[in-house]
Structure 1
Amino acid sequence: MTTATEPVTVRGPVTAPPSAARIARARAALELRLYVRARQAMVFSFLYPIIMLVIFGSISIDDTVAGDVTYVQYFTAGIAATGIILNTFQQLGIRIANERDAGELARLQALGTPAISYLAGKAAQVLVTTASQLAILVVVARYAFDVPFPVDAAHWMTFVWVALLGTLAGTVLGFAVSLLPKSAKNADTVIVPIALVLQFFSGVFFVYSDLPGWMQTIASVFPLKWLTQGMRSVFLPDAAASAEVAGGWEHGRTVLVLAAWIVVGIAVCARSFRWRRVS
């Protein structure tokens, strides 16, 4: 009498899918490589503030705006702030709009990439490139145009928290503004003018207190004004605070406004982020 032999199934170890954190780390490394290879991004977001500092600093190196504050010193604060906004809000908004229009985001979704991993990868790239940009800008300003470093540890700490809050606000707003263009073709024409107008309204190129009152009122709603004012508190002497519209640096209000815009940007992304272009 024969007996049937039961088939034996040999099972190997089951490989778990990569976690969202692991995917985010991989995305961050990829985003950094892509950013460095993108010549347009390097010139118009990373190098732009440094180029502008060299141009305007060379033209106005001996000019003063008030007391012992030179124009190049005042301008360094503004260009540090606008560099953050260009590297986050403007460049990030345009790149995400382009990737969505080209179908790259749809492919990532099909591969199972969590939205949080994609966004975290972008945010990590922005943090690294913005920190590098600010480091180069501060060194060029100091050794090419005699703009003093922050005078003590407290001013350095202000520099760090202003830059960090500004970078986070610009990043989440870059995600949000990427939803505005109908297609990649008009991403530049939609996003760039917003950033450009805010630069003129926020005291980047001009002394903020000299701007018309209606410009100051509009600028006070948006983060670039507060980011620029925060940077002035780092690079300008403490006595210069009396020349501000409110007669002081308003650090508390700067924190509140930037934090509020971070919350707004996160809320918009959470409700409206999409992988595919809407026809």
Structure 2
Amino acid sequence: MTALRLGWRRGVILLRQSFSNGSELFSHVFWPLLMVGAVVFLRDREFGAFSLGALAVPSILGMNAAFGMVSLSQQLTADREDGTLLRAKATPHGVPAYLVGTLILVGGGLLADLAVFLVPAALLVPGLVTGGAGTWLAVAGLLALALAATLPLGIVLGAVFGSPRAQGLLTLPILGVVAISGIFYPIAALPGWLQAVGQAFPFYWLGLGMRAALLPDAAVSVELGDSWRHLETVGVLSLWAVAGLLLAPLVLRRMARRESGSRMSARRERALQRVG
């Protein structure tokens, strides 16, 4: 309970600071509005009898929720580089409190970004089902499952890819997976082997779940098997969540044990040599 309380306090402070910092606030607004522009551009293009813009809105919500794991891995790498993780290791309840605070920072920022995107998109893109409490309950439940399925994986990625340069390279294959996951174009239009690869990752299932919540029932005709596959969506995302929750504590404890002042100094020296 002490770790949770300290972590909550740390996360709220960091989240408040992120919205008061000009560059971070710009990022919270710019990228969601850029995606709003993309779906508005697609709203007059059709796939079957449906607007590509309407099909893309829930898919982008799912994609952004999954991209929280990239943000968390980058945050973890940056905190290790500047000594934040080492300081947390040296204080009572420091590592659990650090983890809780970082989850609040990344999760809170992600929810704010989704709200900035969804509100204007719902107003500007026709064809979305945005009325009724059931829709928003389904969206809230999927977002909770999305965070549970992806944020623990961010901890694993942050431990495996231990430098900012490696984190930059990590973004490229993830963007490739997004491209074949039915985010901007229905996955049913892709070759069969690409469909199989896309369905192995959570991006597709998050997008599918969001489409089931925000699109009319007739839109199921553009999905694989003409089905929303609710049980499969919950099952696959739950498997990712269980895998992440099992792996994340192990890799975080291992990473914290290996941190030391000498290791941080060595990383700093290597960084200075690269700059030089």
TM-score by length of 1: 0.83
Number of residues of Structure 1 aligned to a counterpart in Structure 2 = 258
Residues 252-267 of structure 1 mapped to structure 2, 5 A cutoff? 252-267=231-246
Q: Tell me, yes or no, if the aligned pair for 2:107 and 2:147 is still in contact at 8 Å.
A: yes
Indicate the larger mover: 205-214 or 152-161: 152-161
Equivalent of 1:57, from 18, 39, 51?
39
The superposition leaves residues 25-53 of structure 1 with CA deviations (integer Å, 9 ceiling, x where unpaired) of 22212331343356665556764243122
**Residues 81/237 of structure 1: CA separation in 2 closer, same or farther (3 Å cut):** same
Distance 2:26 2:176 in 1: 20
* Percent identity (aligned): 24
For 1:71, the aligned partner's letter is L
Counterpart contact for 2:59–2:207, Cα < 8 Å: yes
Question: Residues 106-155 of structure 1, C-alpha deviation per residue, up to 9 Å, x if partnerless?
Answer: 01111234332221112222332233222222211122233534343322
Q: Is the 8 A contact 2:221 2:227 kept in 1?
A: yes
Deviations 1:178-201 (A, max 9, x none): 0122322322222x1232112101
The RMSD of aligned alpha carbons is 2.3
Match of 1:72 among 28, 39, 53: 53
The aligned counterpart of 1:117 is: 97
Gaps of 5+ in 2: 268-276
Give the structure with higher Rg (CA).
1
2:273 aligned partner: none
Displacement, 1:248? 0.8
> Given that residues 35 and 41 in structure 1 are in contact (C-alpha distance below 8 angstroms), is that contact kept between their aligned partners in structure 2?
yes
Alignment correspondent of 1:251: 230
Task: Describe the superposition over 1:156-209 as per-residue Cα deviations: whole angstroms up to 9, x where unpaired.
Answer: 22211111111222211111110122322322222x123211210111121111
User: Counterparts of 1:39 and 1:31 in 2: how far apart (Å)?
Assistant: 14
Task: Verify: 1:28 aligned to 2:11, yes or no.
Answer: yes
Distance 1:122 1:270 in 2: 14
Once the two structures are superposed, residues 63-120 of structure 1 have per-residue CA deviations (whole angstroms, 9 ceiling, x without a partner) of: 11121x211101111111112122x111111111111122210011112343322211
Distance 2:187 2:5 in 1: 44
Match of 2:250 in 1: 271
Aligned to 2:205: 226
Code of the residue aligned with 1:48 in structure 2: it is W
* Aligned match for 1:101, one of 70, 81, 87: 81
Whole-angstrom distance in 2 between the partners of 1:50 and 1:168:
26
Rounded Cα–Cα distance in structure 1 between residues aligned with 2:205 and 2:21: 30
Structure with greater helix share of residues: 2
**1:15 corresponding residue in structure 2:** none
1:49 and 1:80 in contact (8 A); partners too: no
